[in-house]
Amino acid sequence: MEKKFILQADYNFGWNYILANPDVNAAEKLEKCYFYNIDKLGMKVDAILWESHCFLPQECESNNTDIYQCFKGRGIDMMQVLIDACHKRGIESIFHHRISEVDSSHVKKLKGKDGWNKTKLSHPDWIIKTWWREGHWNFASEGLRQFKLDYITSIMRKYNFDGICIDFSRHLPCLPVGRQWEERHCLTQFMCDLKNRIKRISPAIKIGAKVPENNRVCHDDGFDVESWIQKDAVDFLVLGSRSVTVEVDWYKQITMGHDVMLYPCWDVHHSSDALHFMPKEFYRGLILNWFYKGADGIVGFNFAPAPVNEMKKIGVDQASSGDAYEEGQDFKEYYESYIESQDANKKRKYVAERRGGYPYITGSFTTNCYAPLPAEIPNDGGFVDIPVETIGDFGGRKATVKLLISNAKEGIDHFAVLVNGAERKNISENFHFIDRQIFWPEPQKPSGRTYCMTDNPSELLVLSECFDGCLLSDKTIVSVAVIDRTDYILDNITVERVELIIDGET
């Protein structure tokens, strides 16, 4: 079966231009921009998850954006324009709903609570006091669940979407903190009630959810996805958002016997920590790992619909998106890697996951909190083991192991490196490598494309060696120890990156 290519489209730009030019055909210009890569470059997109809340009426009137009000005042329903644009191109159009989005008051300069979400102020039992000043929706409240169901149902009746995807990554918590798993039945009930409502509108409408990358994180945040599957509450799942190691195989196991499609997701803006601006070979390895484990397709998030210069030609500004849509790391890179991923002759890069990064969360989803890196190397000469998923047969291919290490001292610290237990005897050392995405010794900043580089990088150590790819396995273990260290009271040495590169064509 052909693997699907899906876009999660957070295309909320062009605002200033449209608001300042009431006489232009804004709808035509935005459609031309949003479908540029598809129309001009011939990229085949199977579905778009529309996250363009600026074009939709919101749950609370006070949360409607200026751009929505502007289009409404001109008698234009921009959301329907985009749905029709998808359908005439043979693309599925899906309503991607952030289940607990921050309120629009964050873009307004307010004193006190003027402009806050009136529904939240009227129903304090519907919210959880958390990092967001107005609180997050509390799905342990039955009243809140019915409110949300009414809103989603109204949108699905108003528009001819092909599906609905509930995005649980934006934002957590959505259950009382510390009791998420205890209250998991509330989200299960919500998903079942959603299915019952939506299927009454049309049995053909697909129901999905964006859920964590593995079972452990699901448990932390109160997502009993296994029960959702057993109750046939979903038709598809978007897995993870900014995680390299998505446990597609676990999801494949729990969906056995149920017709549920699985789509891992990569967010190019809030990428996995220190994995921004990655080359195509990284995407090839990432996507192929997911496909080998049983994914039915992939989702790309926060990719530009058109190159920056083309958007400028069309007259669409980027507003708050800023450098997130720089050329060189756009939709084209990810799409071509998706096409090339199964070409055995292409060069690939596999990496170990890093913890941390995404700041807008109380919970585990999107934090990669169980990732192996950064990893301190024991001062007693012992090894630290770093797993890297490298699924496939690489016999006869050249492979390179590459480790990036902070706080190593030239002339003092010496290292041993193993790959699946085999010692590498010809390791090269470079103590003067610069990686601006590693903030050491400063605290690592939250993961965001526009602020992922430090202006004050430190020199780091790179250890590397080329070897025969037959040594790799589906989960390769790279081990490193510091040996012959002159002074064991020195500060800890830390592994910041681990990469395995398979040679081939570029």
Mean pLDDT of 30-53: 89
Which alpha helices (H) appear in 35-75, and where do they start and end? 36-41, 66-73
For the segment 53-88, what is each residue's pLDDT rounded down to a tens digit?
888 988 877 777 778 888 888 888 999 999 999 999
Smallest CA-to-CA distance from 255 within 294, 205, 216, 219 is with 294
Beta strands in 41-178 (DSSP E): 47-50, 92-98, 127-128, 136-137, 163-167
d(CA 67, CA 148): 23
Beta bridge partners of 427: none
Q: Please tell me whether the overall predicted TM-score, pTM, comes out greater than 0.85 for this model.
A: yes
Structure-derived torsion over alpha carbons of residues 501, 504, 505, 506, reported in degrees to the nearest 10:
0
Ranked by mean pLDDT, the top range of 57-61, 62-66, 107-111, 202-206 is: 202-206
Tokens of 190: 């919500």
The CATH class that applies to domain 4-345 reads alpha beta
Asked if 475 and 389 touch (Cβ cutoff 8 Å), the reply is: yes
Q: Is 109 exposed, middle or buried (0-12, 13-18, 19+ CB in 10 A)?
A: exposed
Q: Is pLDDT larger for residue 433 or for residue 325?
A: 433
pLDDT at 299 over 90: yes
pLDDT, position 505: 66
Lowest-pLDDT choice from 5-19, 139-153, 344-358: 5-19
**Domain map (residue ranges) of the chain:** 4-345, 375-502
440-464 mean pLDDT: 93
N-terminal to C-terminal alpha carbon distance within the chain: 27
Name the phi and psi angles at 169, rounded to 5: -80, -20
Which pair of tokens denotes residue 95?
Answer: 């309503």
Give the pLDDT score at 487: 62
Structure tokens, 169:
């990554």
pLDDT digits (tens, 9 = 90+) for 160-175: 999 999 999 999 999 9
Of 398, 414, 404, 412, nearest to 435 by C-alpha is: 404
| 87: alpha, beta or left? (left if phi > 0; alpha if psi -120 to 50) | alpha
* CA-wise closest residue to 175 among 164, 163, 189: 189
Q: What is the model's pLDDT at position 447? A: 87
pLDDT at 76: 87
Of 103 and 16, the structure prediction assigns the larger pLDDT to 103
Q: Specify the higher pLDDT residue, 188 or 34.
A: 188
Between these two residues, 130 and 342, which has the higher pLDDT value? 130
Burial letters for 128-142: b for 16+ Cβ neighbours within 10 Å, e otherwise? bebebebbbbbbbbe
Closest by CA to 161, choosing from 127, 110, 202, is 202
Task: Give me the pLDDT at residue 432, please.
Answer: 98
**Average pLDDT over the chain, rounded to an integer:** 90
Least confident of 91-100, 246-255, 353-362: 353-362
pLDDT at 323: 45
* CA distance readout (Å), 488 to 210, 378, 379, 407: 46, 10, 6, 13
CATH class, domain 375-502, is mainly beta
Q: What is the mean pLDDT of residues 237-264?
A: 97
- pLDDT of res. 2: 84
| pLDDT tens-digit readout, 232-245 | 999 999 999 999 99
Each as own residue / partner, the long-range contacts of residues 124-131 (CB below 8 Å, 24 or more positions apart, any chain) are 128/173, 128/174, 128/175, 128/176, 128/177, 130/173, 130/177, 130/362, 131/360, 131/361, 131/362
Q: Give the model's pLDDT for residue 319.
A: 43
pLDDT bracket for residue 427 (50, 70, 90): very high
**pLDDT, position 29:** 82
DSSP string covering 391-420:
-S--TTSEEEEEEEEES--TTT-EEEEEET
Asked if residue 378 has a cis previous peptide bond (ω within 30° of 0), the answer is no
Whether the per-residue pLDDT at 49 is higher than 90: the answer is: yes
Burial class of residue 295 in the structure, from the number of CB atoms within 10 Å of its CB (0-12 exposed, 13-18 middle, 19+ buried):
buried
Mean pLDDT computed over 250-274: 95
Provide the pLDDT for residue 214: 98
Comparing CA positions, the residue from 49, 122, 123 lying closest to residue 91 is: 49
pLDDT value at residue 116: 87
Q: Is the pLDDT of residue 1 over 60?
A: no
